[in-house]
Structure 1
Amino acid sequence: MKRIMFLFVISFLVTACLFPPPPPPQTGSAPATESQPEANDQSSQNQNQASTTSEAESESHSHSDAPHTSDVDLTRLEVGDGKYSTSPQVGYVFSCQTTFNGGGATGTGNWMNGDGTWNALMKAVVDGSVSWPHEFTISIQGDQRVFTGNGLPNHTTGTYPVSSSDDAYAVDRNPNSISEQNVTVSLPANPTIASQPSCVGGAIGIMLSGVPMFNAFDAQGLDAGAHEVQDNCDGHPQQSGVYHYHSLSDCATDTTAGHSALMGYAFDGFGIYGYYDSNGEEVTNEDLDECHGHTEVVEWDGQLVEMYHYHATHEFPYTVGCFKGTASVRTSGGQGQGQQGGQNQQGGQTGQGQQPPQEAIDACAGLSQGASCSVGNMSGTCMTPPNSSQLACVPAGGPPGP
């Protein structure tokens, strides 16, 4: 099944990382419930990162009523294969992981133009419309914004594992099943810009749908949006059953004019907004910095605030290229593990059983699970990575590469 979409609709679909052998296909469950609204009792904004506009300023700085416009050609988007860097760079992912040996799509879709570009309007999608018992809350607790949920989306998904009768199967045979998670994430309620940007791991944030956002790569280090096939809401499960996105979901609700609405939060606490700036114009890499963000007046906790924030784009890297603030994440339920392991085209498992780098193990010597740690200029948390029995320093967002 293919869909042809209008230019103002979110269009590109993102990856399905192929991993260990799947359980039986899912049949779904009770309809999803709506996300609970965020608490409004937030503490005062830190003046180093944001300033609330006065009533007079609000009128001049507030979101305009300009309708959304775009000059982005969705039929010729540049493929982002291999666009990871070891330092912040516009249009790249400053990735903590630079060695990729997992799985991904097993074929080439007819939406690949063959000249380094791809056509988002020709992209196939995974069939199905499965509902889930969605649970997700956001609250302010002291200086933290706390997210709790079960990792299941507030929208329908495709049917996973991908059926052999689905036309997506010819390109992407995602064998994983969506499963409930135990998600707890705490982020700074008043984020501040760090002295220097930091690298990102597999997961880079959490969206208002309760679904984690992963970075722009599949487990092979290829452009997830270009190569792999997703469902109608741009999501898919990884090997632990974590349903996630690699780009802004087509099922996210944005405003119809002026600056885009808040879509989610990066793991440094800053907001991720939709495609459009305060003039209603679609942003591109040229409008954003090396971390894929900028400073502008946005709606933040019910007020108009001039502050740094990220934007979704149709251009690679789609959401967050690096963390502008200090990533501070305490998670459970498989966050940040989506790009570890996978299957090769012959169905064999790859990337499994690898131990963390020795320097990551040394950084947690004498520390306990959940303690803060650092390796070089990378900060993280002491955790026991998948397929390892040793405590190691895991960067915010996911394990480093081997």
Structure 2
Amino acid sequence: MRKITLRLLKELPEKYITSGLILIIILFIYGILGSYFIMDLSFVDSVYYSVITMATVGYGDYIPTTGIQKVFATTLALSGVALLAYVFNVMLTSFQERMILFSRGARKMKVIEKMDDYYIICGYGRVGKVVLDELQRRNQNVILIDKNEEAVEDLEETDSLIILHKDATDNDLISKLAGKKCRSVILCTGDDVINIFISLTIRETNPNAWIVSRASKLENVSRLKKAGANKVVSPEVIGGQDLYFESARPHLLNITVRHELDEIFDEFEIISKHGCTLENIQYHLPGIETPLVREIKKNDLTDAKEFKNYLKTHDDKMESIKNLYKIVNNIHSHVISGPDAETFDKLLEDLEKNEEILGINLTNKEISEITRKEIEK
């Protein structure tokens, strides 16, 4: 019922105002012809009589006397009042609705202006939903743009999620939002042509914007890159989760460290203190280039404390982790997501005080060389 009501309100202004105006014209023609043939008035007087009768002014200069004239005058007056009242009521309702929408839009823009930084998601489908879930899990501010109100009706707006029922191809809107405070624009619409157009629009006014786009067809990957997208992801190859990682690439840090098992909780405390998220831990087995990856996706210190208590009460689990650390010679890597480069600098400064940092953003091959040297010792 709610969907039907919203649809009717949306169609009301254009559809019914046009129909009302057409009916008024038809009624006006009826009034002229009736005045001319039934009231025996001239053409000019017929126009005059039709107007004052439809408007119920009735100056009394032309008075119907016969039965048919009275019937004609009555039908013209009643129809005119009904139609004019209908049209003006619809126009007023339309104006009020647009004022409400304008007011809501203004309030949302004020909330966006107060945001320190945010991600923009264009299109909320199956892929867009996964991306939004990943961003919200990391407590990120998100602006979701989708002109289909039904697609986002189940979402609830918060201080960190703003939903705009707008067309993402609107030049002024997307150009304004994709400014300095925008960390990344993620194009999740299923139409590659729309994604290309949005990329071109953003790149015209924001040359430094970080744009990640979905490509529904593999052959459009190169076109999207030419249009200005920094990264193009095809759901045929990887999913929405990887869209988030690509969009956050300027805000990801991969550090390779060496420390004892007892220090992992101090390390997590430092990461949490700087508002960063430990995405995963990569254990580098000596002589093997591909690491053993363990997903974490946590930034809450409570999780680390619970895990620490769990190990204390489960000796077999504690022994397994100790053996893992022995196998990798205490060498492992962390993929950490954070707000900006300045935060990463402070994070690294604190980590260096507690553990040995072997390298930053090293390739698996470079790390393999380090572990190989450990074997030779």
Report the TM-score, using the length of structure 2 for normalisation.
0.23
- Greater relative CO (CA pairs within 8 A, separation 6+): 1
Report the TM-score, using the length of structure 1 for normalisation.
0.22
Which one has the bigger helix percentage?
2
Larger radius of gyration: 2
